[in-house]
Amino acid sequence: MNRREFFKISWGTVGLAALVSGVGVSLAAVIRFLMPSVFYEPPQSFKIGEPGDFPFGPPTFLVDEKIFVFRDREKGFAVASAVCTHLGCTVAHFSSDQRFHCPCHGSVFAADGSVQHGPAPRALDWFEVTMARDGKLLVNKDKVVPPNYRLMV
Amino acid sequence: MNLIREIWQSIVRRDPLSTDKGKSELVFLNVWLHIHPAKVKKENMKFRHTFYLGFITFFLFLILLTTGIALMVYYRPYPAQAYQDMKDLQFAVFMGTFLRNMHRWAAHGMVICVFLHMCRVFYTGSYKKPRQFNWVIGVLLLLLTLSLSFTGYLLPWDQLAYWAITVGTNIGSYAPLIGGQLRELLLGGHSVGEGALIRFYVLHVAVLPAAMILLTIVHFWRVRKDGGLSRPVWKLKGKKEELVVIGAPAVAVPMQASATSKDKTYGLMEVVSGKPIFETVTPEEEEDTVFSYPYAFVREAVVLMATVTTIMTMSLFLNAPLEELANPARTPNPAKAPWYFLGLQELVSHSAFLGGVVAPALMVLALLAIPYLDRNPSRRPGDRKLILWLFTIFVVANLALIIVGTFFRGPGWALVPPWVHVVGGAE
């Protein structure tokens, strides 16, 4: 290898490395740019009201939060997700058969949220519900609890 | 008068169109027309060879571009305004309904024509060497067409829009490894909201059309560079060469009749240096060629006018559907995607991962690989029975899934024949 060849190869390598790293860093930056740093979305943890706001019997459906609030005289409070685990449609609770039905692809969930029928891959989530200091019920969607979780008030 | 002539001649430099030279120069001195060859083979322009499906698709795309730009003037991509603007288009904007109808029906027409165009190219074996890569570009254009339809669907912000995007982006989240991030990237959040609307809007009016235009240019360019339109199947010669017998029967020497014509190796571009990669022209076929002006241009103009007239007529009598305002709390029952995605939805209703990710990915890969896997050089249908059957099964299976999804699925995605009327679907 002579001097001319040496410089040709070295500068070529440096140039190529600069190009590849430049494109790579830019691409990574663009993807990061597209990922929002701040989400202007409702919080995952929120208060839903006083215990007395919720009747016994059929669950109360909270539209914006997409949750069902169950209240039972003996067992207490439980909160189930209304979002189908298949593709995110909103399930409906039928009091006739005590089950959840998804309108999109026909998944059916039992009263405890487990899949009974259809393409849903896993059971409906149950969320932690606790009593806040001001006496209101506090739901935390980040904390998934077992279906037998209950809050006694 | 001299000034007028000078102005005219500064714009148009070609010879008069009454001369052959003028007819050639019209094509190759004009930046827009020179995508055409100066001369075309009459046989290749036959309606029953291509059904002009590529042209129709392109003209539908032009309708979509022009009506789309018009609609952008009255559309604001925010959840609070988007649906309001749809209502404005329907009731307040002059010709608003008509333009929206044209945009919608041209979009549906484009999905149909792209698909039929693909079928035509397949059945005539026109993806074979040297046109393999153009088939790949074509498959990408099909995917872009479907992506444009999908992103366009969210924009009215009605119930159909909202739930189609919810389901669609959730299918994306089943993709291995990157699924969760992919969904977040598309939605700009964790659920379908204003972040998702503006992102789909940017994709629909800028990113995807730009990609579409770029790939369409490549597609057209390659049609020319690969030797122009493929020859109609009925003009292909059989495998057996016809033999001409020379001399008396006792000492007859068979000679290949095509030997002389093989010497002539120029294509439709008239003079090309080097050996052409495409089908060569025999002297008798050369007699079949005519100048693109007026032969090809008149035919294209007729197809353009027929396409525009059809879409306009449809738009006068059929209104593009608009459902109620998007309501995240209430999923319509059944929640159905637009008809061309109902085959996918039918697959997804059995398994989100297998039906929504694996099956479509395999289908796309198979389509992309067809020209490289099919090693059979013959384009004659008689020589390609197996692959024609396989492709027909693929087409019928897709149509069957769409028909089941469209007509045989009722509330709760239950199997309900179309002749059974469900009273008060389960809510």
Q: Do A29 and A57 have their domain in common?
A: no
Distances in Å between the Cα of B396 and the Cα atoms of B45, B74, B143, B197, B400 are 28, 40, 19, 35, 6
How far is B363 from B366, CA to CA, in rounded Å?
Answer: 5
In B367-426, the residues whose Cβ lies within 8 Å of chain A are 411-414, 426
| pLDDT given at position B178 | 83
Angle between helical axes of B20-28 and B292-317 (0-180°, round to 10): 50
Among candidates A66, A101, A104 on the partner chain, residue whose Cβ is nearest the Cβ of B167:
A104
Q: Which H or E run includes B167?
A: helix B159-172
Residue B233 has which token pair?
A: 């199947």
Domain that holds residue A126: 45-145
Least confident of A28-37, A80-89, B117-126, B256-265: B256-265
DSSP state of A129: E
Residue A138 phi, psi (nearest 5): -115, 120
Instruction: Let me know whether B148 and B248 are in one domain.
Output: no
Residue A151 lies in a domain: no
Contacts of A40 in chain B (CB under 8 A): 195
User: Do B172 and B257 sit in the same domain of this protein?
Assistant: no
Residue B255: which domain range? 243-286
Q: Which amino acid is at B252?
A: A
Q: CB count, 10 Å around CB of B394?
A: 15
**Hey, is A117 helix, strand or coil?**
strand
Same domain, B59 and B128: yes
Dump pLDDT digits (tens) for B337-355: 888 888 988 898 888 889 8
User: Which pLDDT score is estimated for B331?
Assistant: 84
CB contact under 8 A, A36 and B345: no
Chain A residues with beta carbon closer than 8 angstroms to that of B191: 41
Q: Is the pLDDT of residue B10 over 70?
A: yes
Q: Is residue A152 part of a domain?
A: no
Tell me which residues of chain A have a pLDDT lower than 50: none
Instruction: Calculate the alpha carbon distances from B30 to B36, B53, B301, B361 in Å.
Output: 10, 25, 17, 42
Nearest by CB to residue B189, choosing from A36, A61, A118, is A36
Q: Which residues of B touch A86 (CB under 8 A)?
A: 170, 352
Say yes or no to pLDDT of B239 above 60: no
Same domain, A22 and A84: no
Q: Apex CA A137: angle with CA A136 and CA A142, to 5°?
A: 135
pLDDT for B285:
64
pLDDT by residue (tens digit) across B131-164? 999 999 999 999 999 999 999 988 999 998 898 8
A116: enclosing H helix or E strand: strand A115-117
CB contact under 8 A, B332 and A103: yes
Residue B303 to residue B311: CA distance in whole angstroms: 12
Rounded to the nearest angstrom, the gap between the alpha carbon of residue B346 and the centroid of all alpha carbons in its chain is 23
Separation CA B197–CA B79 (nearest Å): 7
Same domain? For B159 and B40 the reply is yes
CB B166 within 8 A of CB A84: no
In the predicted structure, residue B387 carries a pLDDT above the cut 90: yes
Q: What is the mean pLDDT of residues B231-244?
A: 65
Q: How far apart are the first and last CA of chain B?
A: 78
One DSSP character per residue, B322-360 reads --SBP-TT---SS----GGGHHHHHHHTT-HHIIIIIHH
d(C-alpha B241, C-alpha B259), whole Å: 10
Q: Report if residue B399 sits inside a domain.
A: no
Judgement on whether residues B121 and B167 belong to the same structural domain of the protein = yes
The token pair that represents A113 in the structure block: 């949220």
Closest CA to A86 of B331, B362, B160: B331
Measure Cα distances from B330 to A64, A89, B164, B325 in Å.
11, 9, 13, 11
CA dihedral A30, A34, A35, A37 (to 10 degrees): 100
- B349: contact with A, CB 8 A cutoff: yes
Q: Is the pLDDT of residue B269 over 90?
A: no
pLDDT at B253: 53
Say whether pLDDT at B249 is over 80. no
Q: How confident is the model at residue B241 (pLDDT cuts 50, 70, 90)?
A: very low
- Out of B350, B413, B426, the one facing A104 most closely (by C-beta) is B413
Q: Are A18 and A63 part of one and the same domain? A: no
Asked if B310 and B264 sit in the same domain, the reply is: no
**Residue range B169-182: average pLDDT?**
83
Looking at the structure, do residues B254 and B362 belong to the same domain, yes or no? no
For residues B169 and B266, membership in a common domain is answered with no
Mean pLDDT of chain B: 87
Task: Give the pair of three-digit tokens for residue B386.
Answer: 């197996």
The verdict on A7 and A52 lying in the same domain is no
Contacts of residues A147-150 at CB distance under 8 Å and 24 or more positions apart, as own/partner, are: A147/A78, A147/A112, A147/A113, A147/A114, A147/A123, A148/A112, A149/A78, A150/A72, A150/A75, A150/A76, A150/A77, A150/A78
Would the CB atoms of A87 and B184 count as touching at under 8 Å?
no
B328 in contact with A, Cβ within 8 Å = yes
pLDDT at residue B260, as a whole number: 44
Task: Examine the pLDDT at B244 and tell me if it is beyond 60.
Answer: no
Assess whether B273 and B362 both reside in one domain.
no
Domains: count for chain B: 2
B42 in a structural domain: yes
Beta pairing partners, B255: B244
Shortest distance, CA A103 to any CA of chain B (angstroms): 4
CA-nearest of A115, A107, A105 to B346 is: A105
Q: How many helices and strands (H and E) does chain A possess?
A: 1, 10
| Share of residues in chain B with pLDDT > 70 (%) | 87
* Most B-contacting residue of A41, A89, A97, A105 (CB-CB within 10 A), to test interface: A105
Task: Decide if pLDDT at B270 tops 70.
Answer: no
Same domain, residue pair B278 and B298 = no
Would the CB atoms of B349 and A64 count as touching at under 8 Å?
no
Number of structural domains in chain A: 2
Same domain, B330 and B189: yes
Give the residue, B254 or A2, on which the prediction is more confident: A2
Q: Which two tokens stand for residue B308?
A: 């525009």
Do B116 and B214 belong together in one domain? yes
Residues A56 and A71 reside in one and the same domain:
yes
| d(CA B76, nearest CA chain A) in Å | 19
Count how many residues are written for chain B: 427
Q: d(Cα B105, Cα B421) in Å, to the nearest integer?
A: 28
Alpha-carbon span B348 to B182, nearest angstrom: 18
Same domain, A118 and A138: yes
CATH label of the domain that carries residue B128: 1.20.810.10
CB B413 to CB A106 under 8 A?
Answer: yes
The pLDDT value recorded for residue B350 is 86
Nearest to B329 among A63, A88, A106 (CB): A63
B190 shares contact with chain A (CB less than 8 Å)? yes
The predicted pLDDT at position B93 comes to 96
Determine, yes or no, domain membership for A7.
yes
Name which of B403, B361, B400, B384 is nearest B126 in CA terms.
Answer: B384
Looking at residue B250, its pLDDT comes to 54
User: What residues of B are in contact with residue A92 (Cβ under 8 Å)?
Assistant: 333, 426-427
What percent of chain B is predicted at pLDDT more than 90?
57
A130 shares its domain with A67: yes
Per-residue confidence (pLDDT) for residue B268, from 0 to 100 = 47
Q: Is residue B17 part of a domain?
A: no
Nearest residue to A82 (alpha-carbon basis) of A54, A102, A106 = A102
A36 and A49 assigned to the same domain: no
| Residue contact A35–B333, C-beta within 8 A | no
Which tops the pLDDT comparison, B421 or B236?
Answer: B236
